[in-house]
Amino acid sequence: MDMPSPSSEDVRWIARCLELARAAAAADEVPVGAVVVIDGAAVGEGRNCVEQRRSPLAHAELEALQQALAAVGEKRLPQATLYCTLEPCFLCAGAILHSRVRRVVFGARDPKFGAVRSLATLLEDVRLNHRCEVVEGVGAEASAELLRTFFRGKRRS
């Protein structure tokens, strides 16, 4: 499947996601950051805080989506783009699908838990009335390096 090319806005928002991911790493969380953008403005941000909240649901993408939904006062985000440093997992992909996000832009692939291929394939099904554009690889090296550094440190501990 051909993926659309990133825009300068995509690069800008992934840079913000990387800042959030660095904050997650500083808090000893898996370094993932996410931002939801509508009409060029951030309406939700999140970073992983699974350990801090002691909840397997405290993923960066879910945090950003919840903030965005509260900010716009809606149950769907059809005009939104979700930016994140790491390919969303199946849990987050489900939330993305149900919130009707228009675009997903991410940096590094997650070979173990990544679900964007499944999400993109599912959304190509003509029986569904929702389509989600997926752009991958924006800030991929910086995102991947944050993860490598984080887990290298964990293996040494």
Among candidate residues 29, 61, 87, 136, the one labeled active-site is 61
- Who contacts 10 (Cβ-Cβ below 8 Å, separation ≥6)? 83, 105, 135, 138
Based on its alpha-carbon atoms, the radius of gyration of the chain, rounded to whole angstroms, reads 15
DSSP 12-56: HHHHHHHHHHHHHHHTTS---EEEEEETTEEEEEEE--HHHHT-T
* 61 tagged catalytic: yes
CA distance 86 to 136: 9
Least Cα distance to 17 among 152, 135, 113, 154 occurs for: 135
**Run of H or E residues at 105:** strand 103-108
- Give the dihedral of Cα atoms 63, 49, 42, 143; nearest 10 deg: -120
CA distance 144 to 43: 25
Residues with a known catalytic role:
61
